[in-house]
Amino acid sequence: MSNTITAAPVRHKNTDTNMFLPKMAKINKVEVFTERETWYEMEYLDKSSLGHTPGQFVEVSVFGVGEAPISISSDPTVEGKFELCIRNAGVVTNKIHQLKAGDTVGIRGPFGTGFDVNKFKGKNVLFVAGGLGLAPLRSLINYVVKTRKEYKDVTLLYGTREPKEILYKKEVEEFEKNKDINFHITVDRGAEGWTKNVGVITTLFPKVKIDDPKNTIVAVCGPPVMYKFVIMEVLAKNIPAENIYISLERRMKCGVGKCGHCQINSVYVCCEGPVFNYAQVRDFKEAI
């Protein structure tokens, strides 16, 4: 077993700028999604583009309070604006939830590795999103939907604990109507009026037909408990470990490989991740 990850880390894309210096961004729009999650559209005050790859994250600063790493959830081809979906989880995120359209925050990034979209082209694509995991995956999902002709079958599995926790409700309705993708949704616990699947996300796998497993690429993002069971289902469909990409969250501070908060053995998740190829991390005890 090797502890070395061979993929080149993307330490900092904008090498001409100071990676410790937040750049000011204005909140354009705010939409409350659920009791815990709120969506934000932002833009840099200097109108420049974020220039991200799906799967990357930014450090959001509320001055005088702190910073939080947040995944970029918007389509990377949209210039000038970017979107974040933020759960109220503690000090910084609570403060962000008090902000309104017109308020400003500091942004550092984009940081980390993203999904290599070229690896998905010409393949069947299977997305598995659990809970807030839809936010990091959405950037890639929207990109794939926009460039749909470049892929074979596209399947999206999405699970939340309850119907009231479904994020991006309008888009989820669009996914349901979109005949170009196979969309399946589930909730752990049903509620009045819920007529779709009830059960954890792995209960959706019997609905997934994979004709050519070796030619299928999988992207998974969700709560830590989900990975082990989802990966078992994916491997049971004969999809090779090398074709599975996972986005791992770890406690992060600097986001740029300096503080060690995100470290798993010799790996700095903020730089070499958060997106990893499963074959490269399956032997890291703490990773999954």
Ligand X SMILES: Cc1cc2nc3c(=O)[nH]c(=O)nc-3n(C[C@H](O)[C@H](O)[C@H](O)COP(=O)(O)OP(=O)(O)OC[C@H]3O[C@@H](n4cnc5c(N)ncnc54)[C@H](O)[C@@H]3O)c2cc1C
End-to-end CA distance of the chain: 16
Judged by beta carbon distances under 5 to 8 A according to partner kind, the member of ligand X, ligand FES, none in contact with residue 253 is ligand FES
The secondary element (H helix, E strand) that includes residue 269 is helix 269-272
Reported as half-sphere exposure (CB side, CA atoms, 13 A), residue 218 has a value of 29
Contacts of 241 (CB under 8 A, 6+ apart): 235, 278, 279, 282
Rounded Cα distance between 97 and 206, Å, is 38
Question: Which of 260, 266, 279, 286 lies at the binding interface for ligand FES (CB under 6 A)?
Answer: 260
Judged by beta carbon distances under 5 to 8 A according to partner kind, the member of ligand FES, ligand X, none in contact with residue 274 is ligand X
Judged by beta carbon distances under 5 to 8 A according to partner kind, the member of ligand FES, ligand X, none in contact with residue 258 is ligand FES
287 touches ligand X by CB under 6 A: no
Cβ-based nearer residue to ligand FES, 167 or 270: 270
Rounded Cα distance between 104 and 131, Å, is 27
Cβ-based nearer residue to ligand X, 49 or 94: 94
Judged by beta carbon distances under 5 to 8 A according to partner kind, the member of ligand X, ligand FES, none in contact with residue 184 is none
**Within 216-275, which residues bind ligand X (CB under 6 A)?**
249-252, 274
Stretch that binds ligand X, among 16-24, 132-140, 166-174, 190-198 (CB under 6 A): 132-140
User: Residue 86 forms beta bridges with which residues?
Assistant: 38
Rounded Cα distance between 15 and 26, Å, is 23
Judged by beta carbon distances under 5 to 8 A according to partner kind, the member of ligand X, ligand FES, none in contact with residue 260 is ligand FES
Whether 68 and 59 have beta carbons less than 8 Å apart is answered as yes
Residues near ligand FES (CB under 6 A) are 252-255, 257-262, 268, 270
